[in-house]
Amino acid sequence: MSQKRINIITAGVILSLFLASMESTVVATAMPSIVAQLGGLSIYSWVFSIYMLASTTTVPIYGKVSDLFGRKKIFTFSMGLFLFGSVLCK
């Protein structure tokens, strides 16, 4: 494997780790506002549980889809979808 390919792979892994940590930070920051709009702290655990459930159930789906269509295409699509969603939330 060439050095250029190793650098590209490393940059992709670092970008995905950055976006994953950013996602956690965004959710933690937005949680008080979400809970306030939904009616108080009594449902705080439900909001977090539903977020984790949705996140957990999409992992195997993306795994199967990436087996069918290729990991690079699905990875690129997923990163684009995440960035698009983040822009819409602002």
pLDDT tens track for 9-67: 899 889 888 887 887 787 778 888 877 887 777 777 787 788 789 888 988 998 899 99
Owning domain of residue 13:
3-89
Rg (CA), the chain: 16
C-alpha 87/C-alpha 75 separation (Å) is 18
* pLDDT attached to residue 37: 83
The dihedral formed by the CA atoms of 70, 76, 77 and 81, expressed in degrees to the nearest 10: 150
- Phi and psi torsions of 70, nearest 5°: 105, 135
C-alpha 47/C-alpha 31 separation (Å) is 8
Record the pTM. 0.58
Residue pair 47/35 in contact by the 8 Å Cβ criterion:
yes
* pLDDT attached to residue 90: 65
- The tens digit of pLDDT for each residue in 70-82 reads 988 998 898 888 8
